[in-house]
Amino acid sequence: MSLGRTCTLYTGAQIPTIGLGTWLSKPDEVRKAVLHALKTGYRHLDCAYVYRNEDEVGQGLRESGVAREDVFITSKLWNTHHRPEYVKAAVRASLRALGIEYLDLYLIHWPVSFVPNGAPEDTLTVPTLEYLFPQKDGNVHIEDVDFAATWKAMEELVDEGLVKHIGVSNFDIPKIEYVLKNARIRPAANQVELHPGLLQPELLEFCKKEKIHITAYSPLGNNIYGKERIIDDPAIKNIAKKLNKSPAQICIAFAAQRGVSVVPKSVTPSRIEENFQDFILDKEDFDEVSKLGARNIRYNDPGTEEWNVKIF
């Protein structure tokens, strides 16, 4: 089972190293997945407004019988709610859906702003795709919002006790530096794509220096754009076979060993259990996996693939 490892945020709060990702989970699957994960021993749930399933995450949490205060829960501010007057409405929608009173961590999901649909008070508890992706002339309707203003509104959520920590996601070094320059409350975390084929060493080093925790999403390399998966690489498969582990377990262990938390997504009970079986790679195997970083493959770039905007 899990080694029970945790990472420490700059406030001293502990975030469990292995969490359950809930992205791309179909109706009712995520409720069952959360319930099974919590019964397996997970105490870290990674959620987001845009996943359109926070209500089911909340159902799974309630059915598990695990106390709210024993679970570290993250959610994320969607691109339609970057204007300062929309931020509180967004977090309240996530809290309503989840059925909880506070979040442990709330992140700006992407450094891209969309024109909102309706007024803040019209914010949907569980959004539709049309609400999340407002259109103009056949493209997502982008607008320019100063992240310093968004961040100030995020800080007010901490002041009011709606969230315990705030952070960012998919932010590169210059964007984090801009937030830091304007921050009263420092970012506690940056959640980014991180796997053996995308190591991002400069970003990790910068965040370590600034005491910003890194959470790795898509630790297996996600395949929504039909690209070759990193877990199918012969190097990963060979090490997995040698250690009698799955390729996914190798990727998760590799991420955890780099000092980051990691949120693999699964709705399959056996894989949820498998992903939680934490272990340590020896130096030879760790170094062999590290060599895949030369490929520098980014699987998740909606700016290029969908939104017609440069993010990275």
Give per-residue pLDDT as tens, 234-290: 999 999 999 999 999 999 999 999 999 999 999 999 999 999 998 999 999 999 999
pLDDT digits (tens, 9 = 90+) for 204-215: 999 999 999 999
pTM, full prediction: 0.96
Give the span between the Cα atoms of 47 and 60, in whole angstroms.
13
Owner of token pair 């992903």? 275
Cα pseudo-dihedral 196, 74, 49, 254, rounded to 10: 10
CA atoms within 13 A on the CB side of 100: 32
Task: Count Cα neighbours of 178 within 13 Å in the Cβ-side half-sphere.
Answer: 13
Per-residue pLDDT averaged across 80-90, rounded? 98
Q: What is the pLDDT of residue 227?
A: 75
Q: Residue 21's beta-bridge partner residues? A: 46, 265
> What is residue 151's predicted lDDT score, i.e. its pLDDT?
98
97 with 60: CB under 8 angstroms?
A: no
94-126 tens-digit pLDDT: 999 999 999 999 999 999 999 999 999 999 999
Percent of the chain predicted with pLDDT > 90: 89
113-114/142-143 β-pairing: antiparallel
pLDDT (0 to 100) of residue 123: 97
Calculate the average pLDDT of the chain. Answer: 95
**1 pLDDT more than 70:** no
In 100-171, the DSSP E strands lie at 105-108, 113-114, 135-136, 139-140, 142-143, 166-169
Catalytic residue among 10, 42, 49, 51: 51
- Identify whether the C-beta of residue 71 lies closer than 8 Å to the C-beta of residue 61: yes
| Helix or strand run (H / E) with residue 206 | helix 201-209
Query: For 16-35, what is each residue's pLDDT tens digit?
Result: 999 999 987 777 899 999 99
pLDDT digits (tens, 9 = 90+) for 181-209: 999 999 999 999 999 999 999 999 999 99
Asked whether residue 2 carries a pLDDT value surpassing 70, the answer given is no
Q: What's the pLDDT score for residue 40?
A: 96
Quick check: is 51 catalytic?
A: yes
pLDDT > 70: percent of the chain: 98
